[in-house]
Amino acid sequence: MLSRAVCGTSRQLAPALGYLGSRQKHSLPDLPYDYGALEPHINAQIMQLHHSKHHAAYVNNLNVTEEKYQEALAKGDVTAQIALQPALKFNGGGHINHSIFWTNLSPNGGGEPKGELLEAIKRDFGSFDKFKEKLTAASVGVQGSGWGWLGFNKERGHLQIAACPNQDPLQGTTGLIPLLGIDVWEHAYYLQYKNVRPDYLKAIWNVINWENVTGKIHGLQKVNHDRYADHTLMIPAR
């Protein structure tokens, strides 16, 4: 059963920034594969620009914004702190989202997930094909720029599809735990697919790293086993 969430821009991301006095700067993560490794589905030029220019810009701007926030915090300038919130949300979200996105892709990806993840998809969406159609539709339907997501609703114990505008981070704006993100900003596909987003979305399924998505689920279950013992992804006994 599809439970689709759209991240509301009215829910502002308000991170705890009291640690900034001793914080380390954010850095651009290395890709776990070469820029050309995802060809022919995503070409090397797109990957290089996307990672080394776009993601790098989010990281740099996040560091600058956090420095300004630290200054405003030290001065007790609440007005300046509030004014910096949109930049923190946008650049922080861009860094979070892309850091997940790169690991969700693999030159050895594609096909269908296996085991518990596949069973959970069948339980919550009916079949893998139906899930694929629904996440693709949510991603195609993003107006302007944004992301399509598969997340985990820890309160209901179910997988959930969401669409987020701009760089809104999934967990920070909906509470869903991000498992799989699809970037539908034009910089993710325009050089290869022009403005035909559905063609890009059709291609990206060939490089989805299901082992990575499964690993996120296992990590979530390990961390939250005691607290969410009744809300796991396991299929109920029939």
DSSP label at residue 208: B
Q: Helix, strand or coil for residue 161?
A: strand
Residues 6+ apart with CB under 8 A from 238: none
55 and 95 Cβ atoms separated by less than 8 Å: yes
Catalogue the E-assigned strands of 74-145: none
Known binder of ligand: residue 183? Answer: yes
C-alpha 130, offset from chain centre: 21
What are the helix and strand counts (H, E) for the chain?
9, 4
Q: Is 218 annotated as a binding residue?
A: no
Q: How far apart are CA 83 and CA 68, in angstroms?
A: 11
What CA–CA distance (Å, rounded) separates 140 from 137? Answer: 5
**Which parts of 70-218 are beta strand (E)?**
146-153, 158-165, 177-183
Cα 107 → chain centroid = 19
Is 98 annotated as contributing to ligand binding? yes
Please choose, from the candidates 174, 193, 179, 162, the residue with its C-alpha nearest in 3D space to the C-alpha of residue 221.
179
Annotated binding site for Mn(2+): 50, 98, 183, 187
Annotated binding site: 50, 98, 183, 187
